[in-house]
Structure 1
Amino acid sequence: MFTRHHKVWPRELPKTMTLPQTSLFTNLEISALRYPDHTAIIYYDTRITYRELLDEVEALAGWLQKNGVKKGDRVLLYMQNSPQYVIGYYAILRADAAVIPVNPMNRAAELEHYVSDTQATICLAGMELAEFIAPLVGNTYLERVVVAAYSSYVRQPTDLNLPAEVSAEPRVLNAPGLISWENALNSGDKPGEHTAGPDDLAVIPYSSGTTGQPKGCMHVHRGPMATAVQRSFWNITTSDSVQLCTLPFFHVTGMTGSMNSPIFSGATMVIMTRWDRNVAGTLIERYKVTGWTNIVTMAVDFLSNPDLGKYDISSLVTIGGGGAAMPQAVAKKLKDLTGLDYIEGYGLSETMAATHINPPNAPKAQCLGIPVFDVDSRIIDVDTLEEKGPGEVGEIVSNGYQVTVGYWNRPAETEAAFVEIDGKKFFRTGDLAYYDEDGYFFMVDRVKRMINASGFKVWPSEVESMMYQHPSIHEVCIISAPHEKRGETVKAVVVLTPEAEGSTTEEDIIAWCREQMAAYKVPSEVQFVSELPKSPTGKLMWRALQEEEWKK
């Protein structure tokens, strides 16, 4: 067991944790029993209590079972953040089925893969997405789609700027197999006894993958239960905590940090359907938000808001996330403004969010953190599988309750994803990192993202971290570019700050880099763009830029 980090472990927390031997749904049932009139959700100024939330979950679970959903079946959840997402997620669990969270950016061809791979017969969809899933009804395994209009849950007057999807009025559903959310909830169907336990399938998020079609990461209830409970204790969350929910729930970080963990604690979720930094500022001030789990790019946008000073954000107690290393200049601005450190963490779809988080009282900058409760994490040689020591770069492998039990319908890939060490199965993350003498883990890069320039190994994230110190750079992505002599060379794709546009040149950036880093790391080319491609969760899509460059 890796224990080097125990010397920096938070003193108030145990190093091991006994998990509930119940399903994830039971967390909602218990919170509703304990805090029936406490606010579970605030949605653009409309409040929903825990009693109301559980009642609607039970009603939808009854409809699901009445319409053929059996234990172990898979149900697609194709929505943006909303009360309906939370209700749908927990209703699927209540019906003893498994949630298939689908990226709202996916369209017909991608949706067909999810349906055919999981053999799902029912989908819960947002109204704005119904047109993309409806053509699959009757032509695939899919039989019914329950369509939800987000506006039906904005029941109180609000002065907040509503996204178009939230302000849109419900539409008449004419396509076969489509049923309105309200009709499903008002069907009067009652669910049977809840029988799912910790070893039954709960959720199958699909990993983006590096090649081929997305793979379903199978998680039994024990997995998301682990990350929900662990995050709750790590951040000292109580029923009086208020969580701002801006990360998409379909992604494991938002699912865990902004939904499952608050529900376990009986806390309040302040849900945003789309990111808007001014609305976020208003919500933090209006509802005294105490915690905010986000993505680094979201935090950067929030802190760069020229109107940030208008909002009282002093209620924040914890703020953190991952997806990329937090630029030191931005972290300093947050610290100066709030007195808070940005707490970075690390996890994957295969690990149901975090396996590593920085200790709140002793975080390190641009660091993945330390292994959390009961997680055994090592660094191994990619080829020989030999275990590495402090400061040596290798692949992160992890063992813990939250690790996937395997890829859906992919036994060969499941077998290849694990390695045995000391008699335990460790998941191979595909991420290169090292740990220091104190047991903190630091990302170097993806296994396949290294740039080999004339034999010199260049780790893009290292160069990006250094370039963020340039005052004219707002965002940067390092990729490789073909080079006649070196094979490949370093290229920087840069978004300048508004002040630097028109006055900073490619030569300026390269000259600055020559002063800051080894010559072989210096970008030989700088391309200025208005924005970098990002996934719906805010992660930098470096691979898209990489492939575009080599296609040239």
Structure 2
Amino acid sequence: MNTTHFLHWPEGLPTTVTFPETSIYENLEISTRRYPQKPAIIFYDSILSYAQVHGEVLALAGYLQQVCGVQRGDRVLLDMQNSPQFIIAYYAIMRADAMVVPVNPMLMTDELAHYVEDSGAKVALASQEIFPRLAPLVGKSCLSHAVVATYSDYLTAPTDLTVPDFVRAPRNVPDLPGVIAWTDALAERHASRRHEAGADDLACMPYTSGTTGKPKGCVHTHRSVMVNAAGSAIWSGHVIPDNVTLAVLPFFHVTGMQSVMNAAIYCGGAIVVLPRWDRDAAGQLITRYKVTTWTVIPTMMIDFLSNPRLSEYDISGLKRISGGGAAMPAAIAQKLLDLTDQKYMEGYGLSETMAASHINPPQRMKQQCLGIPEFNVDSRIVDPTTLKELPQGETGEIWIHGPQVFQGYWNDPKKTEESFAELDGKRFFRSGDLGYMDEEGFFFFTDRLKRMINASGFKVWPAEVEATMYQHPAVQECCIIAARDAYRGETVKAVIVKRAGADVTEDGVIQWAHEKMAAYKVPRIVEFVEVLPKSATGKVMWRMLQEKELGNKGA
């Protein structure tokens, strides 16, 4: 294990930390006992105290157990945008000793069907604007119960902030078998059983797509979730209850879930919740509630700093601005530094590591850098062919050994086995990302070993998109590649061979795709070709198409 990076370790912190061996739910219980009347959630000027949040968590957990029959280890689907209900639902599922299955709220019915069937979820907690896409699965699959939340139920105070229509929408939950409105479920006030889940029980299963198509569940226990929930706050020295964090990154994604939601509740801090990105609302909320920490992706920060109204907002109280998913452009990082005296703290992690495994130390932040391995993490650069460790400065695959590494892929022992390897007597996760370590022990990303598109921080796996595109009656062959995008960094392009006699346009294909998959996966560009390049064994040579696309754009 290389220890060069210890020379740049956060001042006053040990290189290893003893993390709590309790469930994630107990973080909320402890913060409630400590700060019962303190704000936990701020939602467009409506405030919920820790005592209020915890009371609703207990009521919802009781409903899940007593009415829906949720047992220890069961999986419960959570499909909402950022909202008070997402936080309450997340902790209620864990209070019921079950495992949270967070899904992207942009997913369509066909996509959701896989998550339900693969996880075996019998219950879903969904928001009202999303539920129509989930409704066809209730009672038609293993999914037998759904609790439907209406965001406007939590708009309890007047506000001059711009509230989107989908948040203001009045309650309109369909009267269907197995379906109940959130407020009705809580009103039944069912008692929850004694909490039994411990550090090694199932806690959360975010899904990640892969090179073979269908998304795979990453199995995490309370122990692996706890490491980053607590570690995120400890790393920057912000383990204090008076922190206020702005939540604009989606909670279903591990970065927003861990670095924002779970870290804040671990500390007893306040979470200012935005369901969707709005640069003016963000500026107003930072000013109004004296936000101290903000985790944000580069595309959001670019938009925020380009706002002509920026001077109206007081963002001087920010003490930590962090993120990942893509490198922050140097010019934007400099503008942020000039305005706030804060450097953008970049990090690196995956669904398999439940957010960060690497992060820049506060006193030694490098731009466009993954950072250094955080508490208790051993990370190496390894030749992906020989499986031999490489010296500093050479490019290889990033391997990770640490307590936040997942247990494996749900119901996929073969893929789990392929994703791990042993080195120096330790079990390492093979990230599939290529990078190198500099002379100071900092890690840098260079390329992907796996085929993946990064669109505004959302990972798009071409094989999954291709599998859906082949459902189109006019598509004979399809290859998905990345195209450059000035705002998103990369976007999705479909190179298609049409079936003989098919009459379809580029716009027609894109419109069809919008009905079949989440918006971030939909090809923004479609190119029709006569043939796709293939190898001697008949495999589509996607890399040739990719290199041609990047070459055409001056890469």
Query: TM-score over 0.5 for the alignment?
Result: yes
Aligned residues: CA RMSD: 2.6
1:547 offset after TM fit, Å? 9.3
Quick check: 1:295–1:539 contact (8 Å CA) kept in 2? Answer: no
Partner Cα separation in structure 2 for residue 432 and residue 330 of structure 1: 25
Q: Measure how far apart 1:174 and its partner are.
A: 2.1
For 1:387 and 1:546, how far apart are their aligned partners in 2?
41
What amino acid does structure 2 have at the position aligned with 1:138?
A: G
Structure 1 residues 413 and 547 mapped into 2: Cα distance closer, same or farther (>3 Å)? farther
Percent identical residues: 54
The equivalent of 1:129 in structure 2 is: 130
Match of 1:205 in 2: 206
1:493 matched residue in structure 2: 484
Tell me, yes or no, if the aligned pair for 2:434 and 2:445 is still in contact at 8 Å. Answer: yes
SS of alignment partner, residue 125 of structure 1: strand
Paired position in structure 2 for 1:85: 86
- The C-alpha deviation readout for 1:127-174, integer Å capped at 9, x for no partner, is 001111111111100111100000000100001111222111111422
Q: Work out the number of aligned pairs and report it.
A: 480
Partner of 1:475: none
- Quickly say closer, same or farther: Cα 1:224–1:288, change in 2 above 3 A: same
Amino acid in structure 1 at the alignment position of 2:251: F
What secondary structure, in the 3-state scheme, does the structure 2 residue paired with 1:194 have? coil
Code of the aligned partner of 2:278: D
CA–CA separation in structure 2 for the residues paired with 1:135 and 1:406: 30
- Residue in structure 2 matched with residue 6 of structure 1 by the alignment: 6
SS in 2 for 1:312: coil
Q: Distance in 1 between matches of 2:392 and 2:48?
A: 49
1:57 matched residue in structure 2: 57
Going from structure 1 to structure 2, the CA distance change for 1:491 and 1:10 (only over 3 Å counts) comes to closer
Change (3 A) 1:492 1:169: closer
Q: Give the superposition deviation at 1:3.
A: 1.6
Residue among 250, 253, 273 paired with 1:251 = 253
Name the aligned partner's letter for residue 203 of structure 1: C
Question: Contact (CA 8 Å) 1:323, 1:539: kept in 2 or not?
Answer: no
TM-superposed deviation, 1:320: 1.1
Displacement after TM superposition at 1:412 (Å): 0.3
Secondary structure at the counterpart of residue 40 of structure 2: strand
Task: Report the Cα distance in structure 1 between the residues aligned to 2:523 and 2:423, rounded to whole angstroms.
Answer: 31
Mark the CA change 1:113 to 1:172 in structure 2 (over 3 Å): closer, same or farther: closer
- The separation in 1 between residues aligned to 2:528 and 2:363, in whole angstroms, is 42
Letter in 2 for 1:2: N
CA distance in 1, matches of 2:443, 2:406: 21
Q: 1:443 to 1:544 in 2, by over 3 A?
A: farther
Note the alpha carbon deviations across 1:57-92, whole angstroms, 9 max, x for none: 000000000120000000000000000000000000
Opposite residue 427 of structure 1, the aligned amino acid is F
Q: What amino acid is the match of 1:371?
A: P
| 1:449-498 deviations in Å (ceiling 9; x for gaps) | 59xxxxxxxxx99xx9xxxxxxxxxxxxxx9xxxxxxxxxx99735389x
In structure 2, C-alpha distance between the alignment counterparts of 1:304 and 1:209, rounded to whole Å? 35
In structure 2, stretches of 5+ residues that fail to align are 456-461, 463-480, 489-512, 530-544, 550-555
| Structure-to-structure mapping, 1:266-345, within 5 angstroms | 266-345=268-347
Q: State the match for 1:30 in structure 2.
A: 30
Asked if 2 retains the 8 angstrom alpha-carbon contact of 1:324 and 1:539, the reply is no
8 Å contact kept, 2:211–2:450: no
Partner residue of 2:368 out of 344, 366, 369: 366
- d(CA) in 2 for partners of 1:80, 1:494: 25
Q: 1:211 Cα shift?
A: 3.1
3-state SS in 1 of match to 2:129: helix
Aligned CA distance change for structure 1 residues 129 and 13 (closer, same or farther; 3 Å): same
Q: Report whether the alignment pairs 1:232 with 2:233.
A: yes
Shift of 1:539: 12
* Paired residue type of 2:418: A
Residues 420, 428 of structure 2: 8 Å contact kept: yes
How has the CA–CA distance of structure 1 residues 149 and 385 changed in structure 2, closer, same or farther, with 3 Å as cutoff?
A: same
Query: In 1, distance between residues paired with 2:58 and 2:198?
Result: 17
Alpha-carbon contact 2:346-2:369 (below 8 Å) kept? yes
Question: 1:266 deviation in Å?
Answer: 0.2
Do the aligned partners of 2:147 and 2:181 also contact (CA within 8 Å) in 1? yes
In the alignment, the residues of structure 2 paired with residue 137 and residue 491 of structure 1 have an alpha-carbon distance, to the nearest angstrom, of: 36
- Does the CA-based 8 Å contact 1:74-1:119 persist in structure 2? yes
Q: In the alignment, residue 37 of structure 1 is paired with which amino acid? A: Q
3-state DSSP of counterpart to 1:403: coil
- The answer to whether 1:435 aligns with 2:426 is no
- Structure 1 unaligned segments of length 5 or more: list them: 451-459, 465-478, 480-489, 498-532
**2:6 equivalent to 1:15:** no
